[in-house]
Amino acid sequence: MQGIGTKCVQGGYTPGNGEPRQIPIVQSTTFKYATGAEMAKLFDLESNGYFYTRLQNPTNDAVAAKIAALEGGTAGMLTSSGQAANFYAVFNIASCGDHVVSSSSIYGGTYNLFAVTMKRMGVDFTFVSPDCSEEELEAAFRPNTKAVFGETIANPALTVLDIEKFAKAAHAHGVPLIVDNTFATPVNCRPFEWGADIVTHSTTKYMDGHGAGVGGAVVDSGKFDWTKYPERFACLCTPDESYHGVTYTERFGLAGAYITKATAQLMRDFGSIQSPQNAFLLNMGLESLHVRMKRHCENGLAVARYLKGSDKVAWVRYPGLEGDEYHALAQKYMPGGTCGVVSFGVKGGREAAERFMGRLKIAAIETHVADARTCCLHPASTTHRQMNDQELADAGVSPDLVRYSCGLEDAGDLIADIEQALA
């Protein structure tokens, strides 16, 4: 079994003799066949191959295979964004009339997708605190619940999900746990090892790592046995008429059923494909993910420690910091490091936060995180501005919260910059 660093560099693509060492960018919408009969087999999922890039492309497949290998999954797919990844991951098994239990401490865009847009599609969500008791979690389930959702480290609240607690509850109700592992990355946490069944990513963040391309990924562990609940997951266990009656679990097994369905149905119909160019750039980011995460975490810890000691700072949240509310969970699930994002409140509240941010010279104000360049954001007035005060509180976002994403610069320079801006 290879180490995570070797998988980052070489996973997903093994060139043959005389073939390119770097993953080739297959910049082609379509693929040529000698006969219509051969192509018909591809359309019916009877043979494996490429015919149209909206469904599959060799560049994307190589990068998806790398991400699947990093997570320890059996199959993966790339999407055009993290939003598309989370939508596909849930909608693949929950549709109109169904229900999903979700942690309330999640990315603002995901909250909106679930609470507004998917609700309009007929999927109901119950949001629970990531810190809820087992009884509270239990009470959130309904007979039509199809999945449980949470974020390993939530953006921007930086709460840590007790993956085992959520997996146990999900499995007791015969549904999978879907974990958005964007902030931890598989370098720091592999949710499948703790009982999660499906993992999603906004590859826009650390995986790309250079602010070059928006993208997402979905990975299946292959461990959830859909066939134990053939009625609940009829979408995977009964014939799909749009593919001449193929039954995904029968034809592709537990290892391939979920991702094949997401590709064959959702990608076919919604078309949120990642461009092969972006997949190539994403792979360049993945090649150094293990090296960069170490530095992001070192900088995060150094900045968090500095902020904790400053009398101009009201509070600091960083799960890697000794004494943090989530430090114990972080030590359990991510002993090697958490992420480079630190949340804190400047004394003086919302206005002080905005003034402080305006004076930073190295950190730029951006709607972005997890980049090589340090950036910061005030979520209450940007990414989470559609939420009311109660929803903000449930999501763990206070009005004074500054989200500070440590890049790969020298920690001393970041701290000096923060010091002059606080002054």
348: CB partners within 8 A, 6+ apart = 355, 400
How far is residue 399's CA from residue 404's CA, in Å, rounded to a whole number? 15
216 lines the binding site for ligand PLP (CB under 6 A)? yes
Among 105, 110, 188, 405, binds ligand PLP (CB under 6 A): 110
Among residues 204, 263, 275, 299, the one that binds ligand PLP under rule CB under 6 A? 204
| C-beta separation of 207 from 98 below 8 A | no
Contacts 24+ apart (CB under 8 A), 193-197: 193/72, 194/163, 194/164, 194/167, 194/333, 195/163, 195/164, 195/167, 195/168, 195/171, 196/163, 196/167, 196/221, 197/167, 197/170, 197/221, 197/223, 197/224
User: Contact between 145 and ligand PLP (CB under 6 A)?
Assistant: no
| List 71, 162, 180, 220, residue binding ligand PLP (CB under 6 A) | 180
Instruction: Give min distance, CB of 50 to ligand PLP, in A.
Output: 25
86/278 with CB nearer ligand PLP:
86
| Token pair 């293990």: residue | 290
Strand blocks (E) in 141-222: 145-151, 177-180, 198-202, 216-220
Which residue is nearest to ligand PLP, using beta carbons? Answer: 82
Q: From residue 36 to residue 75, what is the string marking binding to ligand PLP with x (rule CB under 6 A)?
A: ----------------------------------------
Residues 79-108 that bind ligand PLP (CB under 6 A): 81-83, 86, 107
Of the pair 155, 398, the CB lying nearest ligand PLP is at 155
Name the nearest CA neighbour of 54 among 33, 20, 81, 30.
30
Question: Of the ranges 60-68, 175-183, 392-400, 404-412, which one interacts with ligand PLP (CB under 6 A)?
Answer: 175-183
Angstrom distance (rounded) from CA 293 to CA 209: 9
In the complex, least distance from residue 249 CB atom to ligand PLP, rounded to whole angstroms: 28
Q: Does 151 participate in binding ligand PLP (rule CB under 6 A)?
A: yes
Shortest distance (Å) from residue 416 CB to ligand PLP: 28
Q: Report the nearest approach of ligand PLP to the CB of residue 238 (Å).
A: 31
Question: 385: exposed, middle or buried (C-beta count within 10 Å: 0-12, 13-18, 19+)?
Answer: exposed
Q: Whole-number minimum distance, CB 88 to ligand PLP, in Å?
A: 12
For the segment 277-316, give every residue that binds ligand PLP (CB under 6 A).
none
Q: Which of 60, 103, 182, 374 binds ligand PLP (CB under 6 A)?
A: 182
Using the rule CB under 6 A, give the single segment among 128-136, 170-178, 201-209, 293-301 that binds ligand PLP: 201-209
Rounded alpha-carbon distances, angstroms, from residue 251 to 41, 245, 261: 14, 11, 11
- Contacting residues for 333 by C-beta, under 8 A, at least 6 apart: 152, 160, 161, 163, 184, 189, 194
- Cβ closest to ligand PLP, residue 56 vs residue 83: 83
CA angle, 114 then 120 then 121, to 5°? 85
Residues 248-267 that bind ligand PLP (CB under 6 A): none
For the chain, what's the residue count?
Answer: 423
How many residues of this chain interact with ligand PLP, rule: CB under 6 A? 17
Question: In angstroms, how far is the first alpha carbon of the chain from the final one?
Answer: 51
Question: Closest separation between CB of residue 216 and ligand PLP, Å?
Answer: 5
Any alpha helices (H) in 72-159, and if so which ranges? 82-91, 108-112, 119-120, 134-139
Q: Shortest gap between Cβ of 203 and ligand PLP (angstroms)? A: 7
* Least separation in angstroms between CB 166 and ligand PLP: 16
What are the residues binding ligand PLP (CB under 6 A)?
A: 81-83, 86, 107, 109-110, 151, 155, 180, 182-183, 202, 204-205, 214, 216
